[in-house]
Structure 1
Amino acid sequence: MADPADRLTVTRHDGGVTVAWEGPYRDYPEYAMIAEFVPYMLLMLAGSGAGRRLTPVWVGLPRRPPTAPERLAALYDTRRVEYEAAHPSITFAEADIDAPLPRADPALAAILDNHAQLSTAAARPVRGWLDRFHAALESAVADGPPGLDQVARRLAMSPRTLQRRLRDEGSSWREELEKLRQRRVDRLLRETTLSVESIATRVGFTDPRALRRAIHRWYGHGPAAIRASGPM
């Protein structure tokens, strides 16, 4: 179980096979602990599949070298721990990766593969991160003008992480608020008989003139044309 934003990258090279992890928690105070845990979790999962304890070729951590490295050497069962890496990672020997799984069952694998294909064909699309952000933003409007901290809490992340994730999507908090206002204004004009003054108050504009200027900026014409076009 993990955040949908988690990403594992598997790279095969001369030194073996490296599994690197990227997650959305870099700005969290607990990130150093999370980064230490990930290679250990991958080591335990790999050992469970192999049916024996595996010794990694090396482990990469984004933290600075500790004053007492013995704890990490014991945790990963190797003294080859490299620090200040871009992402936490663990490298396994090529022989360990290519070794057959001792409890492998070809018949069961075929059944599971068929089940996976059927399940994938019938699955509904999963909402992406930006879809979840928009849902949280729309939900926050019920409590008044949404704030960055408020929406970040709904998504279980820090405000800095939320801003960074929006930048990664080619957007920003300010742009998303502008789009939210536009969607709300468009809906109220098309689906209600509220006056422009009432809509301006509901959506958070200082006065009706500010709303009219925004509508001209968005559509190139005034609110009357939108209202006359009716519901979409």
Structure 2
Amino acid sequence: MIEYTVSSHMARVVRDAALRAGVARSELAFLPGFEPETLADPLLRVPTASVVRAWELITHAGPAGAGIRTGETAAQGRLHVWDYLFTTAGTFADGCRDAARYLPTMTDPGVDMTVVEDDRRLTITYGIAKYAPAAVTAIDEFAMAIMLRRARDARGPSVVPVHVALAHEAPKDHRHLIEAFGTRAIDFGARANSMTFLDLDAQPRRPPGPDDELALILRRYADNLLENARPAAGWHGTFRSVVAGALGEELSLELVAQRMTMSPRTLQRRLSDLETTWRDEIESVRHERAAALLRETELPVQSIAGRLGYTDARALRRAFQRWTGQTPDAYRRTAIPGT
């Protein structure tokens, strides 16, 4: 089951973008699924929440336009078989349809891509979940930049869309988008991201040949990839990692749901399926993190309390006494001989 995951190839593209934007490797190292061995395995899937969090870090660290630049510089092959399905078909429309059909080989299966032909126009619509407001602009722009880059890979560098729609609100200055897309026909606040092309298949379709056999091979490989792909981490483990990463912030169900690219209601339902609750999970993660920090660091209890989202050390001491029957200081002396 690959729901709420993206391919390791996509995760590598976003990781590289984060490093270029100045995000510290140490911040990325703690994201579930960003381990080197996971990113090197084409069959492993990275939690969508980790990739969204990386986009949030990019947004905080870098100037506007990071999504555009990432899409523009993602050379063909960076997104594995999906790139070649898009660019090697007999017609541009066929390539778009294959790209839509096999979109889960690249990204979260919850993302939807549609292809509509109307006379001489072809419109690609690409929906993005709106549960990550801090990253949505970069993700929207990246998605459209990738579509345009692959269109140019398939039909030449002079390809320019006749219309672009973006789901996020208009920025104060969008000259970088005009330059990137080659058009001023850009709308914002749309229901979904979309890009319209004109006459890219003006030439008649070539007769069947070796490229048709290549397309068949690519589709079979993509089917096999989807059948054998597996998440790098279980859903519950990913959830707990996201909670642990948010403990020092204004922790809320809504924040964690955003980072996991799902609605709060879905998150609550998933917890209920595991016969647990939001409150119990927060308590459990805090207990786990408090014990680890007491064992593995020399941080004072006040600092540990802040990292866990407590207002002061007294609140942590009360909670730790409830969990273990010991004070934090007593636990530390027991856990670390000689202290």
| TM-score (normalizing by structure 2) | 0.39
The equivalences for 1:148-163 within 5 A come to: 149-150=243-244, 159-161=256-258, 162=260
Specify the SS of the correspondent of 2:190. Answer: coil
How far off its partner does 1:106 sit? Answer: 4.4
> Which residue of structure 1 lines up, in the alignment, with residue 202 of structure 2?
99
Specify the SS of the correspondent of 2:160. Answer: coil
Change (3 A) 1:133 1:48: closer
2:210 maps to amino acid? L
| Aligned mates of 1:140, 1:48 — CA distance in 2 | 36
The equivalences for 1:68-217 within 5 A come to: 68-93=173-198, 95-96=199-200, 98-100=201-203, 106-116=208-218, 119=221, 125-126=227-228, 132=231, 135-137=234-236, 149-150=243-244, 159-161=256-258, 162=260, 164=262, 167=265, 172-178=269-275
1:108 maps to amino acid? P
Change (3 A) 1:125 1:150: farther
> Which residue of structure 2 lines up, in the alignment, with residue 57 of structure 1?
162
Structure 1, unpaired ranges of 5+: 153-157, 181-232
Q: Root-mean-square deviation (CA), in Å?
A: 4.1
How far off its partner does 1:134 sit? Answer: 8.9
Change (3 A) 1:22 1:150: farther
Q: Residue deviations 1:85-139, cap 9 Å, x none? A: 122211111x12x23499x7943223214434654786673568xxx599332x5
| Aligned mates of 1:73, 1:140 — CA distance in 2 | 38
How far off its partner does 1:69 sit? Answer: 3.2
Specify the SS of the correspondent of 1:164. Answer: coil
Q: 1:32 aligns with which of 121, 127, 137?
A: 137
| Aligned mates of 1:127, 1:167 — CA distance in 2 | 27
How far off its partner does 1:60 sit? Answer: 0.4
| TM-score (normalizing by structure 1) | 0.54
Change (3 A) 1:123 1:62: closer
Structure 2, unpaired ranges of 5+: 1-78, 80-105, 247-254, 278-339
Q: Which has the higher contact order (CA 8 A, sep 6+)?
A: 2
Q: Residue deviations 1:175-211, cap 9 Å, x none? A: 222189xxxxxxxxxxxxxxxxxxxxxxxxxxxxxxx
| Aligned mates of 1:59, 1:140 — CA distance in 2 | 35
1:136 maps to amino acid? W
Q: Residue deviations 1:152-184, cap 9 Å, x none? A: 9xxxxx622337268569x7133222189xxxx
Whether the aligned pair in 2 keeps the contact of 1:32 and 1:63 (CA below 8 Å) is yes
> Which residue of structure 1 lines up, in the alignment, with residue 112 of structure 2?
7
Whose Rg is larger?
1
| Aligned mates of 2:132, 2:275 — CA distance in 1 | 26
* Structure 1 residue 42 corresponds to structure 2 residue 147: yes
Whether the aligned pair in 2 keeps the contact of 1:163 and 1:172 (CA below 8 Å) is no
Identity among equivalent pairs (%): 18
Specify the SS of the correspondent of 1:125. Answer: helix
Change (3 A) 1:120 1:49: closer
| Aligned mates of 1:4, 1:111 — CA distance in 2 | 28
2:211 maps to amino acid? A
Whether the aligned pair in 1 keeps the contact of 2:125 and 2:193 (CA below 8 Å) is yes
